Amino acid sequence: MTRPLRRGLGLALLVLCCSAHIGSPDAWYQGPAGPYDVLIRVQPPLVVPGIAAVEVMPAHAGVTRITAVINRFDAGATPPPPDVALPLRDRPGWYGTRLWVMTTGSNSVTVTLEGTAGSGSVVVPLSAVAGRRLGFARGLAGLLLAAGLVLAAGWFTIIGAAVRESVLPPGEEPDATRRRRARWVMLRSVLVLGAVLTAWTLWWRAEDRRFARGLYRPLALRAGIDTTAGISRLTLTITDSAWIHRHDAAWQRGRRPRDASELVEDHGKLMHLFLVAEGTRSAFAHLHPGSTDMVTFVATLPPLPPGRYAAFADVVHASGFTETLTATLQLDSALTRRVAATPTDPDDSWWTGEPARALSARLEDGSRLEWLRPAAPLIAGEEAGLRFVLRSSEPKAPELYLGMAGHAAVVRDDDSVFIHLHPLGTISLAAQTQLLARLPAGRGHSMGPRGPADTLSFPYAFSRPGNYTVWVQLRRGGRILTAGFPATVETGAGR
Amino acid sequence: MATLSADSSVHPRDAEAGWPLYAVLFASIGIVVGLIWDISWHRSIGRDTFWSPPHVLEQVAAMVAGLSCGWLVLRQTFARGGKPGTGVHFWGFRGPLGAWLCIWGALMMVTSAPFDNWWHNAYGLDVKIMSPPHAVLAWGMLAIEVGAMLMAVARQNRATPREQRRLSLLYAVSAAIFLTMHATVLMEYAAFPNHMHSALFYEVTALGMPLILVATALPSRLRWPATTAAGLYMLIVLLLIWALQLAPATARLAPIYNPVTRLVPPPFPLLLIVPAFVIDLLLHRATTRGWGLAAGLGASFVLLMLATHWWWSQFLLSPGARNYVFGADQWDYSARLDAWRYQYWNLAGGSAPFLRGIAIAILFATATSRLGLWVGGGMARVLR
């Protein structure tokens, strides 16, 4: 397959499979819920309204009851009664329930645990969007076609029988004229049925077009390099009309509604931008462009090698809706020579090299990061076990990086899956804070992130089989350290 | 030329048991009650399953219709050595025309289930009453109800004088059920008092109601058949309004802006009894059944609907109707209650567009009345 074709397919998948996070719709949370530690996974529906699967694994014994409830982000409405999560038969230690998601966009899932240590809750932000169109399975299409043909034949037969015999006294046989008339009426009824079926099909198509228009698309983003100041500055511009006209009520009238609430800072940054070198994955950057108008975001270009890059920009809206905007960037050697001496943001980081061939990668300060990967193969849809341990001869402890013990970025080789992870999970702390601020006091509790540790654990399940790269970042001795690991994920029973 | 077969002496009742007609009427009313209950369930509780009580009622009703008519067909085909009875031929089998329609409707309802399931997966769970798979389901339901009408009218048309009143009443009941079904399907456009100052309300009601009322009245042997059917329709809806309000309900889907505590009833029934009475009156006096009569029926229907509902809606929007008897001002759990609930909807453009809409409604009603005269004339002759 040629590279442009592969790329085209990748972009098509981006559009078809995208969630608010690219290709990774599930929300994961790992952390405290009051006095309990829990691992929570929320699988959002593929269309809205739809049903989300909530799975909870308490880390403590003594939990007697787990419930979950979903509400719209603004929590202006009374929540429905919570659903009780029951033990999952095939997964010991896990409890599950299903929630009906009725509202597109930002929703809050409140999980409550009760037990010997009392009661504790946590809010998991859930961005629910319709991200794909479902085709007809061949078996179902065949079944419905067969049923339709039988019903149509039955309909014509009933019409014919009505004309031919229904008005005759019992026992009387229809004559030739009546039989001929019945055939004629049956023929004419073909036209009537044809007209009805045509109208019905047009209706269905209109509904399908309306649905397709409402499919979620991340805000359109354009990436470029500005050299007017003598150095190469990376500029990202949100070009989406829905964003440009977000304050223009007249423009929005009659158009597809989308979440255009203002952006809020996550870990103190408006945007978390990840640049990933295409192909070899030999370069990676985690930048934080700033903005004064929420439309154009600027950061100094780090010293990256020339090449083509995929850009993934994570933003959080005031509603709690999180999305990843995507663009591509071509860096030629002239641009990469004009890099600034210092980055715009002190938390910017970049890395060049090759992803580790083994499960242990050497970090810039001489220490090693080891992936504690289970022997079993990675399976799509199943918890991946992204656990890493820092090995070093120096007794220097890791520090918090952007308020977290560590960060990870997962990218599929065709760019159709991207996710930014923390030990807290896939959820955004800013989104959680936004949702909590709207809840009545005591409805949900948020706990700050855990302190730094030598061992990092990122709860996540690869959504699709394929080849991935996992970059892990942590801060130690004031330096931001990055390691890349390749990962091959096999087909599983995931959705 | 029609010929009498050798066994024409067989009495109709020998070949067609009476209970399937009652079974089909039970199924027919079960379907419409299930549908109204289901809508109320969605408006009050929100969350349902394949096995929620209204769904079970609808499924049982469809099974009763399909199986009882299937039994009737097998009996007419194979009992008595295959002698022809009161049925029509269908792929080597014999059975009453209405029974075939009921079987067809039951199959249509069954077919809609996997399609509806796919639709939910493809486009999301239901937020509207009408969708393409629901249309398939509704056609199946309507077929069962028309089948019930045909079975009843055929029995009435060949009944002995002693049986006739009972069978004519059963026919009126079947027509009332069909009328209820039709009014329910139109609920989104022509049911709430807030609709009743909009021309759309009169256009939508003119599209089907005159056909059903006229087609009901023509073949019936009752003195006031359309009035009876319309009265029974109102009674069915009123009984449901009064029953549903008694059932406790808690909304189980977010967002909940209107925390209901009881099932939300359907809106008060349309006052169809008024135009139905005049339809009966006009049909008593008519000497021909052409376009002139259709125009009179159509204009009467629309103008009487307008005269009654214009003011009646003002009462239904007033505090006097906000009680158990009238069931007004009860809204979905997801409704953000505001001034809109006491206002008229779809008022656009003033009186000129409204009058134009009424004229269009009269044209619709004339056409559907003419169709009703044709269908009713045909039904008056159905014997099998």
- The token pair at A382 is 């199943």
> What pairs with residue B248 in β-bridges?
B262
Which residues in chain A are contacts of B127 at CB distance < 8 A? 49, 102
* Burial class of residue B210, CB neighbours in 10 A (0-12, 13-18, 19+): buried
Query: Which one of A102, A136, A165 has the shortest CB-CB distance to B384?
Result: A165
Query: Which one of A71, A143, A207 has the shortest CB-CB distance to B254?
Result: A71
Q: What is the dihedral sign for C-alpha A59, A61, A63, A64?
A: positive
CA distance A27 to A41: 6
The chain A residue lying nearest B131, using CA atoms, is A204
For residue A284, pLDDT beyond 70: yes
Q: φ, ψ for residue A260 (rounded to 5)?
A: -125, 30
- Spell out the long-range contacts of A394-400 with Cβ–Cβ below 8 A and sequence spacing 24 or more: A394/A366, A394/A367, A396/A476, A396/A477, A397/A452, A397/A454, A397/A476, A398/A452, A398/A453, A398/A454, A398/A474, A398/A475, A398/A476, A399/A452, A399/A475, A399/A476, A399/A477, A399/A478, A400/A449, A400/A451, A400/A452, A400/A475
For residue A385, pLDDT beyond 90: no
Q: State the pLDDT at residue B248.
A: 96
pLDDT in tens, A201-211: 999 999 999 89
Query: Which one of A49, A166, A178 has the shortest CB-CB distance to B127?
Result: A49
CA distances from B123 to A256, B120, B262 (A): 16, 6, 30
C-beta atoms surrounding B356 within 10 Å: 12
Calculate mean pLDDT across residues A111-138. Answer: 90
CA distances from A372 to A71, A356, A431, A464, B240 (A): 37, 14, 30, 21, 64
3-class secondary-structure state, position B197: coil
C-beta atoms surrounding B262 within 10 Å: 16
CA distance A175 to B260: 62
Q: What percent of chain A has pLDDT over 90?
A: 65
CA distance A146 to A132: 27
Contact B2 A157 (CB under 8 A): no
CA distance B316 to A436: 42
Residue among B43, B35, B39, B42 at smallest CA distance from B61: B35
pLDDT in tens, A415-446: 999 999 999 999 999 999 999 888 776 555 55
Residue among B29, B26, B54, B378 at smallest CA distance from B219: B378
pLDDT in tens, A57-100: 999 889 999 999 999 888 777 889 999 999 999 899 999 999 99
For residue A6, pLDDT beyond 70: no
In this complex, is the C-beta atom of B143 within 8 Å of any C-beta atom belonging to chain A?
Answer: no
Q: State the pLDDT at residue B295.
A: 96
Contact A170 B251 (CB under 8 A): no
* Residue A76 DSSP class: -
Which residues in chain A are contacts of B100 at CB distance < 8 A? 154, 157-158, 161
Calculate mean pLDDT across residues B130-134. Answer: 89
- pLDDT, averaged across chain B: 90
Mutation test of the interface with chain A: which of B123, B144, B158, B252, choosing the one with the most A Cβ atoms within 10 A? B123
> What pairs with residue A107 in β-bridges?
A72, A126
- The token pair at B25 is 């009427």
Alpha-carbon distance B183 to nearest alpha carbon in chain A (angstroms): 20
Angle between helix axes B225-244 and B19-44 (nearest 10 degrees) is: 50
CA distance B129 to A355: 54
Q: Are B365 and B210 a contacting pair, CB within 8 Å? A: yes
DSSP A397-409: PEE-BTTBS-EEE
Which residues in chain A are contacts of B95 at CB distance < 8 A? none
Q: State the pLDDT at residue A451.
A: 65
Query: Which one of A78, A148, A170 has the shortest CB-CB distance to B259?
Result: A78
Residue among A300, A387, A394, A388 at smallest CA distance from A342: A300
Calculate mean pLDDT across residues A232-243. Answer: 93
Element (H, E) at A229: none
CA distance B24 to A184: 31
For residue B84, pLDDT beyond 70: no
Q: Sorting pLDDT into bands at 50, 70 and 90, what band is A280? A: confident
Per-residue burial over B312-345, b = 16 or more CB atoms within 10 Å of its CB, e = otherwise = bbeebbeeebeeeebbbbbbbbbbeeeeebeebb
Q: Are A86 and A100 a contacting pair, CB within 8 Å? A: no
For residue A119, pLDDT beyond 70: yes
Rg (alpha carbons) of chain B, rounded to whole number:
22
Q: In what order do the strands lie in the sheet with A86-87?
A: A27-33, A36-43, A50-58, A95-101, A86-87
- The token pair at A159 is 């019409």
For residue B2, pLDDT beyond 60: no
Q: State the pLDDT at residue A444.
A: 56
Cβ within 8 Å of residue B89, ≥6 positions away: A161, A164, A165
CA distance B227 to B216: 10
For residue A124, pLDDT beyond 60: yes
- The token pair at A236 is 């990202």
Q: Sorting pLDDT into bands at 50, 70 and 90, what band is A493? A: low
Q: Are B192 and B246 a contacting pair, CB within 8 Å? A: no
Q: Sorting pLDDT into bands at 50, 70 and 90, what band is B272? A: very high
CA distances from A435 to A74, A319, A444 (A): 7, 7, 9
Beta strands per DSSP E along A166-295: 172-173, 221-226, 233-238, 263-264, 272-277, 283-287
CA distance A481 to A284: 12
- The token pair at A315 is 């933003």
Peptide bond into B54 cis (omega under 30): no
Calculate mean pLDDT across residues B76-80. Answer: 79
pLDDT in tens, B40-74: 999 999 988 888 999 999 999 999 999 999 999 99
More confident residue, A371 or B346: A371
CA distance A119 to A386: 29
Q: State the pLDDT at residue A7.
A: 45
Which residues in chain A are contacts of B10 at CB distance < 8 A? 170-171
- The token pair at A111 is 């999980």
Q: What angle do CA B301, B306, B312 make, to 5 degrees?
A: 120
CA distances from B76 to A99, B17, B148, B358, B381 (A): 51, 10, 18, 49, 21
- The token pair at B7 is 């066994």
Q: In what order do the strands lie in the sheet with A368-371?
A: A360-362, A368-371, A386-391, A455-458
CA distance A120 to A59: 13
Say how many CA atoms lie within 13 Å of A478 toward its Cβ.
Answer: 1
Beta strands per DSSP E along A343-395: 349-352, 360-362, 368-371, 378-379, 386-391
- The token pair at B355 is 């009058």
Beta strands per DSSP E along A116-262: 118-128, 172-173, 221-226, 233-238
Q: Sorting pLDDT into bands at 50, 70 and 90, what band is A243? A: very high
* Residue B339 DSSP class: G
Alpha-carbon distance B146 to nearest alpha carbon in chain A (angstroms): 13
In this complex, is the C-beta atom of B122 within 8 Å of any C-beta atom belonging to chain A?
Answer: yes
Contact B382 A167 (CB under 8 A): yes
Peptide bond into B133 cis (omega under 30): no
Contact A172 B10 (CB under 8 A): no
Which residues in chain A are contacts of B104 at CB distance < 8 A? 151, 154-155, 158
The chain B residue lying nearest A74, using CA atoms, is B255
CA distance B256 to B333: 5
Q: State the pLDDT at residue B251.
A: 94
CA distance B275 to B304: 6
